[in-house]
Amino acid sequence: MATMSAPLVSAEEWAEKEELKFGFIKLTDMAPLAVAYEKGYFEEEGLYVTLEAQANWKVLLDRVIDGQLDGAHMLAGQPLGATIGFGTQAHIITAFSMDLNGNGITVSNDIWSQMKEHIPHEDGKPVHPIKADALKPVVEKYKADGKPFNMGMVFPVSTHNYELRYWLAAGGIHPGYYAPHKGDTSGQIDADALLSVTPPPQMPATME
């Protein structure tokens, strides 16, 4: 049997709204919410929080905007995108940043084996950071064979998308243009590598 101590806040400090529903995507950077929930940190502040997993970033954003969720673990670029009208336009405020960096770029074992011959090595190990220069010959071979080189990211206004595009472009691989004024929001115009959206929970299965 578990017991809960009384909230450690005075009447003057009591929350305007006590019961809150927060959305999240099943990623490790939602850990601060999970820890606060499990450790009772919300209750200590007089808040009674429900955490609810969401299907993807768009659903999560739309549910915050229309009030179904009181807040959410969200991509850093989503409040900016919503404010300037990318997708649904709404003014969203970021109250707290839950993580910094931590993203990585993953390729299949087959692609990695083709990249390795173009990567500098020391003591038999690849030198990091690994540049997209090593991927460029692989992408060029795909193009010569008439095959698309497909890569995934989680949302157009995610830092994942920006970082992946920057990495590719720095290595001479065109990541594609967006042209919303022409009705093309695929981000694949003139692309050497085709980036498309895959929600985080589906990413491992999509890569497999």
- The residue among 169, 172, 168, 175 whose CA lies nearest residue 192 is 175
What does pTM read for this prediction? 0.71
Domain locations in the chain as residue ranges? 11-83, 109-207
Which helix or strand (DSSP H or E) is residue 196 part of?
strand 194-197
What per-residue confidence (pLDDT) applies to 68?
96
What per-residue confidence (pLDDT) applies to 28?
83
What is the pLDDT tens value at each position of the chain, 208 positions in all?
343 444 455 555 666 889 999 999 988 888 999 999 999 999 999 999 999 999 998 999 999 999 999 999 988 888 888 888 877 788 888 877 776 766 789 999 999 999 999 999 999 899 999 999 999 999 999 999 999 999 999 888 888 899 999 999 999 999 999 987 788 888 999 999 999 999 888 888 888 8
CA distance 163 to 96: 21
Write down the architecture of domain 11-83 according to CATH. Answer: 3-Layer(aba) Sandwich (3.40)
Question: 157 with 75: CB under 8 angstroms?
Answer: yes
Which helix or strand (DSSP H or E) is residue 179 part of?
strand 177-179
Which helix or strand (DSSP H or E) is residue 194 part of?
strand 194-197
Backbone phi, psi, residue 80, to 5°: -65, -45
